[in-house]
Amino acid sequence: MVRPRIFRKLRFKPKSHYFKPQGIPLRHLEEVFLTKEEMEAVKLKDFDGLEQTEASEKMKTSQSTFQRILSSARTKVAKAMVEGKALKIEE
């Protein structure tokens, strides 16, 4: 039996849901999808400058789960930047 999904505390609502390379129409780009959880993790750790323990407490998750979410988000952002793909944040 699958373990039930725990809902995490998400407070951040991004003003934009798409980021893409300039000068290339969106229809010609592949998309990389960033979940709400991943966006929240990046905001708390990289933008707000919180320590991992503080950020994981704010998201109501374990530190190891927070690290996994943050690592996944950073990988996706790097992939979008390096490969020139559009980054779409889940609404």
Give the model confidence (pLDDT) of 1-24 as tens digits. 776 666 666 667 777 788 899 999
- The predicted structure's pLDDT at residue 26: 87
In a domain, 25, yes or no: no
Q: Does 65 fall in a domain?
A: yes
Amino acid residing at 60: K
The domain of 69 spans 36-89
Distance CA 71, CA 91 (A): 20
Give residue 89's region: left, alpha or beta (phi > 0; psi -120 to 50): beta
What are the CA-CA distances from residue 3 to residues 7, 37, 56, 66, 79 (Å)? 12, 18, 20, 18, 30
pLDDT for res 6: 67
31 lies in a domain?
Answer: no
Percent of the chain residues past pLDDT 70, beyond the cut: 89
At residue 50, φ and ψ (nearest 5 deg) are: -75, 155
pLDDT band at 71 (very low <50, low <70, confident <90, very high): very high
Q: How many domains does the chain have?
A: 1
- Rounded Cα–Cα distance for residues 37 and 43 (Å): 10
Q: Is 48 within a domain?
A: yes
Amino acid found at 38: E
Q: Do the domain assignments include residue 19?
A: no
In a domain, 59, yes or no: yes
pTM of the model: 0.82
Residue 69 has pLDDT above 90, yes or no: yes
Any domain includes 43: yes
Indicate whether 74 belongs to any domain: yes
